[in-house]
Amino acid sequence: MGHTASRQRAKISATLETRLVKRVREYQREAGLPSFSAALEELLWRQMTEERAKAYYLSMSDEERAEQGAWARFSTGEFFKVLREE
């Protein structure tokens, strides 16, 4: 995700549930990340981003949500038109 390269770091110590540690280590391997800390940081950034997006969409009015839906349908249609032309 790229969040880890340019940020200052603070060393912390935490006690985590064994299952959580196992899952973060699995993610580290799957994502090819260099350390447990990098994997945990990426997962936390992802979670925060998803929460912000969810809050944004939940804060929309019905009218705004309908407009977003219309744009999504339009853009999806245009995307598939381009694919068919190729």
Q: Is residue 4 assigned to a domain?
A: no
1 or 75: whose pLDDT is higher? Answer: 75
Q: Is residue 2 assigned to a domain?
A: no
Compute the average pLDDT of residues 33-42.
Answer: 97
Q: Is residue 8 assigned to a domain?
A: no
- Residue 5 neighbours by CB under 8 Å, 6+ apart: none
- Tell me what pLDDT residue 5 has: 61
- Tell me what pLDDT residue 59 has: 95
Q: Is residue 37 assigned to a domain?
A: yes
- Tell me what pLDDT residue 68 has: 92
Q: Could you tell me which of 11, 44, 39, 13 has the C-alpha nearest to residue 25?
A: 39
Q: Is residue 23 assigned to a domain?
A: yes
Total-model pTM:
0.65
Compute the average pLDDT of residues 21-37.
Answer: 97
Q: Is residue 48 assigned to a domain?
A: yes
Q: Is residue 10 assigned to a domain?
A: no
Q: How many structural domains compose the chain? A: 1
Domain with 43, as residue range(s), is: 18-85
Q: Which amino acid is at 5?
A: A
pLDDT at 7 over 80: no
Read off the tokens for 38: 């990098």
Q: Is residue 72 assigned to a domain?
A: yes
